[in-house]
Amino acid sequence: MRIMRLLTFTLFSFLFQSNVFGITIVYTGFECLSAIDANDPTPKETVVQSRFEVIEDVGNGIFHLSLTGGIPRFINNNHNVCIDSATAVGYSGIPALDGLPKPLESINATAYFNEQDLVIVVSSIFTDLSARRNPFSSFSTSQILAVTNTLILEFNPQTFSFNLKRIIHNRGFTHTSGSTNSIIPFQETVLPSFNEAALDKPKILIPISNIDYILE
């Protein structure tokens, strides 16, 4: 174990001593058939890559990353794995600049690496763009999902890869509805955790198929 840790430290010291930027880990798989159903890991035939690229070395083992492609989606006790390219990257939009929110091509992530374990946190916003108002002045905003994924990976110095051990997945929910003709003009639903039911706990997911990110 001591020799392996020394090899790991030597490898990353060599990689990072000149230029940490652009170092990338990549997992190649198939895009998820369902865009937003976290309980459906069925893949379709579209090949996609989950890519984490270092964009800043903050120091003390902390890095800022850029994520493209999405992250693996799986459920416990199921061999199927797909890549969530929708909710894991999500949407963004400023009305005065962008009009309606649009799907992002990439999103920032934050990582911590201690020479053996790599922990990556990704937070995104997904919307179904369902805001509406009818002639009788009732209105409803789009449904907004605040999604956080924490990936826990272990470095394998023999294969220069990171094996995904766990994902902690949480999905919040916000929605506003109401009417200008009502005594209560609007009602807001705000749920910090809404994975299966209101006010439930974040999911701790353990893959039973190998998910390896290759170091590039």
66-119: pLDDT as tens digits: 999 999 999 999 999 999 999 999 999 998 888 889 999 999 999 999 888 999
Q: How far is CA 31 from CA 42, 83, 162, in A?
A: 9, 5, 20
Q: Which domain holds residue 120?
A: 2-215
Q: What pLDDT does residue 12 have?
A: 53
Q: What pLDDT does residue 149 have?
A: 98
What is the rounded average pLDDT of the residues 170-187? 84
* Closest residue by Cα to residue 204 from 75, 90, 112: 75
Q: Domain count for the chain, please give it.
A: 1
> Can you say how many angstroms the Cα of residue 40 is from the centroid of all Cα atoms in its chain?
16
The residue with greater pLDDT, 183 or 78, is: 78
Burial environment of residue 124 by CB neighbours within 10 A (0 to 12, 13 to 18, 19 or more):
buried
